[in-house]
Chains A and B, each alone.
Chain A
Amino acid sequence: MDHLAMMVEIEHLSKYFGPVLAVSDVSLKIGRNEIVGLLGNNGAGKSTLMRMLTTYLPATSGRMTVDGFDVLTQSQDVRRRIGYLPESIPLYPEMRVEEYLRYRAQLKGLSRCKVRPRIEHVLGRCRLGEVRRRQCGTLSKGFRQRVGLADALLAEPALLILDEPTDGLDPGQKQEALALLRDLGREHTIVFSSHLLGEVESLVNRIVILRRGHLALDKRIEELREEADRERTLRFEVRGGREAVDGALRNCSLGESARSVRYNPLPDGWLQGELRLPGSLDPREDLVRQITGAGVGLRHIEFHRPSLNDRWNEINNRDVASLAAAPSA
């Protein structure tokens, strides 16, 4: 891919806070108009990575560029191209929303004739019209988030860096925030962090998972879905002898995978069977016919894909040492 087509390039980035390793040898490339979800537990290094990307903190080693500008040596050029929403959304409590945005717009070097239209634009975009004259200190969490986001959007930045933009919002606000982000993703590259994988699944086109400072996973969402498809299983619940079920399975055109079936007795006396299936094979109709033909009771049959949350748990349970050896899974 063309060098300048990349919005963010991170090479072997590490950060120590004294003896504490916060980010360890992370390499990452983010293309234009990608929406990247940065996931990890508390202390995984998400915020540190974002703060380094915003030029606020320097890296201990490694190199980062944003839109072709080096974060360390061309920090002012980088800052002109980013919009940043920190986790705690610090605002000046005594300033009114409009005043605050005007102050930020001036700081960001917007020309005088552009300040007013841009403020009107972001106020509308983040639906802040009703609180424009309110003091920031009196705003609710949801409005504070929106003011922070409006600030990040002011200078039409190419890259939006949002640290947990949905944290602490109620479910309705969360949906709203995610919808807004999806909308913004059409014009901006977005890197945002979150704790909840399930929440961001519908929004991002790429997922990066950090675990104790290491890059644990970096995959496009389609790849993850394909992987999940590869690992799909067929689950069914039957009542009757195991042999009879096995016989019925053998009569289906399942090939080798018929042998991989595992049984799991359910508390009500039924038996849950699960078998791995290759590719796009769909033997459900055949299976129903064979099982019921063998006189075995069947009450449920479905495909099961491992969810991203399962994947998340798997990564979290993996040993850190093995991650260090092979950083990108």
Chain B
Amino acid sequence: MSDPTDILPQAAGPTGAPEGPGPSQIVDDELAAPRMVGIAGLMALIIGFVAVGFGLQDRAFAIGPGIGLLCLFAGLTGLIVHAFMEDEAALKLAYFSGGVTGAVAGTGVLFLGDWSVAARALGMVIALSALPLLLSVARGGTPGQSVLGLVPRGLLAAGSLLLAGGLAWQFILGERGDFESIGLPLALSILGAAYFIGVLGFLGWESELSFRAGWMATLAGLGVALLALVRSVLHESGVWQAQGTAYFVPAGYLIVAVSLLVAAAAYATVSDRPTLVVARRELQGFFYSPIAYFVLVSFALATWFSYQNFLGNLAEGRVLEPILNYYVVELFLILCLLFSVPLITMRLLSEEKRAGTLEVLLTAPVDEASIVLGKFIAAFIMFLCLWLPFMLYLLALPVGAQPGFDFRPLLSFGVALAASGAGFVAMGLLFSALSGNQLIAGALTLVGMIGLLVPYIMQFRLMETSGWGTVLGHISFLTGWESALEGKLIPRQWVFSVSLTVFCLFCSVKVLESRKWK
């Protein structure tokens, strides 16, 4: 009888690993797709760059500067995607050198005072996009490759220096009352903060370096808040006359609030409190699912549409104060808001219930309130992220044309938006706790959102006939937004949102606890 292995096909290759028919052949050209993306990105980048360059000099080109800008962004995205997937050392090095050039040139352009604002904004964008290119070289680096390990550390140090230097410069200028030249240090500190956060995100929030940096940022935030508070109190009490009152709304409290926020955010990344641990995981989970990107992109498009409309209205001069009303209270934007809240909140607890992970969660030493609060914080942050593009578009307004742009209504609008957003998210969380099915939870939340919109429509009808119109006006979040855009923060208009938040969170905790009563 012959050896049985003769009859069998050769199952194992020379290395002993089974040689399957498919995957090993695909591995060879696995990088083809990212490389195509990279080449397309490079082409788009060049075209975009030329178009924007022509646009800046008011010269005609085949495509307008708007489309050019879009090409520029698309091209950069393509290059970044490729940079992170490339394994070839030479190409990685090329991207790294491109990143260094971009960072240095982009930052350098910021210092050129005689260049136009738009050109300097472009420089800022290039300096920001250089960061992922710089980081891509360190991807997949092992501890043995100490040179690659130095790249993120170096970038982190550069980011911290820019941030600290920029902030200190702003403080000095603020004390002198010299607000004309505050743009450069502001841009530098934003760039520094972006590098700082970007590098930490790249290293992972759980790494040792991130942990230390997180604590340092917490302490720095608290320190600045204290400094600004002392300065404000001294100014208010008349002991010492500070110059920067106009900028720091009023007498520096904006700086106190912002640095406290920074300290809180930094603390949230390092703390081991169960609430924050749950919130971090949830936020991470958002960005692993395609839904988050879908919502972010569609909301960014909706706000872009709204912004274009707003610009159209401005150009035709058909606007009355508060002009931002035409930007925010806009049918398409509100529709998108109605749909995006359920998309954010629907899976929060219902998915944990369906998958059974809730059982594991509730047998760890964590109480129901921590879980609910953690999920709420994550969804709330996600909700605020939706509005980032909206705020960024607005930045273009003062940069673009009008020096007299009053940003303060935006601050009060931010507060009103946060209050009503907390209500929406808490409501969605409650529905998600009630149902083990995401779709049902989402549908209920959508109905709830429409329900919250109804008072706005109804109030005008009832205003003339009865007192209910006024009551509905206090319930309607849009009415609250309108008055916030006028620069008025009226507590009675948040009472409803805040109580809705507290009530829904309380009920969600009770729903989770209800398994103990059944």
Most buried by B among A57, A84, A107: A107
The interface residues of chain A lying within 8 Å CB-to-CB of B278 are 107
Q: Which residue of A lies closest to B364 (CB)?
A: A107
In angstroms, Cα B289 to Cα A94, docked, is 8
Contact of B364 among A51, A57, A88, A108 (CB under 8 A): A108
Q: Count of A-B contacts with CB under 8 A? A: 67
The interface residues of chain A lying within 8 Å CB-to-CB of B206 are 99, 102
In angstroms, Cα B285 to Cα A104, docked, is 15
The interface residues of chain B lying within 8 Å CB-to-CB of A111 are 272
The interface residues of chain B lying within 8 Å CB-to-CB of A263 are none
The interface residues of chain B lying within 8 Å CB-to-CB of A95 are 281, 284-285, 288
B367 interface hit (Cβ, 8 Å): yes
The 8 A CB mask of A67-103 against B (1 = contact, 0 = none) is 0000000001001101010101011101100010011
Q: Once the chains bind, are A82 and B516 in contact (CB under 8 Å)?
A: no
Q: Once the chains bind, are B211 and A90 in contact (CB under 8 Å)?
A: no
Q: Once the chains bind, are A90 and B359 in contact (CB under 8 Å)?
A: yes
- For residues 209 through 226 of chain B, which have their beta carbon under 8 Å from a beta carbon of chain A? 211
- Kindly provide the distance from the CB of B155 to the nearest chain A CB, expressed in whole angstroms: 24
The interface residues of chain A lying within 8 Å CB-to-CB of B285 are 92, 94-95
Q: Once the chains bind, are A90 and B515 in contact (CB under 8 Å)?
A: no
Q: Once the chains bind, are B364 and A91 in contact (CB under 8 Å)?
A: no
Given A92-B285, A102-B206, answer yes or no on A79-B359 (Cβ-Cβ < 8 Å). Answer: no
Contact of A107 among B277, B515, B518 (CB under 8 A): B277
The 8 A CB mask of B282-298 against A (1 = contact, 0 = none) is 00110011000000000
The interface residues of chain B lying within 8 Å CB-to-CB of A80 are 365
Q: Which residue of B lies closest to A112 (CB)?
A: B272
The interface residues of chain A lying within 8 Å CB-to-CB of B284 are 95
- Kindly provide the distance from the CB of A64 to the nearest chain B CB, expressed in whole angstroms: 14
Q: Which residue of B lies closest to A81 (CB)?
A: B365
In angstroms, Cα B274 to Cα A80, docked, is 13
Given A90-B356, A90-B357, A90-B359, answer yes or no on A76-B365 (Cβ-Cβ < 8 Å). Answer: yes
B158 interface hit (Cβ, 8 Å): no
The 8 A CB mask of B338-382 against A (1 = contact, 0 = none) is 000000000000000001110111111111000000000000000
Given A80-B365, A84-B360, A109-B365, answer yes or no on A94-B516 (Cβ-Cβ < 8 Å). Answer: no
In angstroms, Cα B364 to Cα A131, docked, is 24
Q: Which residue of A lies closest to B516 (CB)?
A: A58
Q: Once the chains bind, are B360 and A151 in contact (CB under 8 Å)?
A: yes
- Kindly provide the distance from the CB of B368 to the nearest chain A CB, expressed in whole angstroms: 11
Q: Is the interface of B mostly helix, strand, loop or mixed?
A: helix
In angstroms, Cα B360 to Cα A112, docked, is 21
Q: Once the chains bind, are A112 and B211 in contact (CB under 8 Å)?
A: yes
In angstroms, Cα B351 to Cα A94, docked, is 13
A54 interface hit (Cβ, 8 Å): yes
Q: Once the chains bind, are B272 and A79 in contact (CB under 8 Å)?
A: no
- Kindly provide the distance from the CB of A56 to the nearest chain B CB, expressed in whole angstroms: 5
In angstroms, Cα B278 to Cα A95, docked, is 13
Q: Once the chains bind, are B365 and A56 in contact (CB under 8 Å)?
A: no
- Kindly provide the distance from the CB of B373 to the nearest chain A CB, expressed in whole angstroms: 14
In angstroms, Cα B366 to Cα A80, docked, is 10
A106 interface hit (Cβ, 8 Å): yes
The interface residues of chain B lying within 8 Å CB-to-CB of A106 are 272, 274, 277
The interface residues of chain A lying within 8 Å CB-to-CB of B518 are 17-18
Q: Once the chains bind, are A103 and B277 in contact (CB under 8 Å)?
A: yes
The interface residues of chain A lying within 8 Å CB-to-CB of B361 are 107
A24 interface hit (Cβ, 8 Å): no
16 other A-B residue contacts (CB within 8 Å) besides A57-B515, A90-B360, A107-B277: A55-B363, A56-B363, A57-B516, A76-B365, A76-B367, A79-B363, A80-B365, A84-B363, A90-B357, A103-B277, A103-B281, A104-B364, A107-B366, A109-B272, A111-B272, A112-B272
Supply 16 A–B pairs (Cβ within 8 Å), ascending by A.
Answer: A18-B518, A56-B363, A56-B515, A79-B365, A80-B365, A84-B360, A86-B360, A90-B356, A92-B355, A94-B289, A95-B284, A95-B285, A106-B272, A106-B277, A107-B365, A111-B272
Nearest 10 CB-CB pairs, A to B?
A90-B356, A94-B288, A79-B365, A90-B357, A54-B363, A106-B277, A58-B516, A107-B364, A84-B363, A80-B365
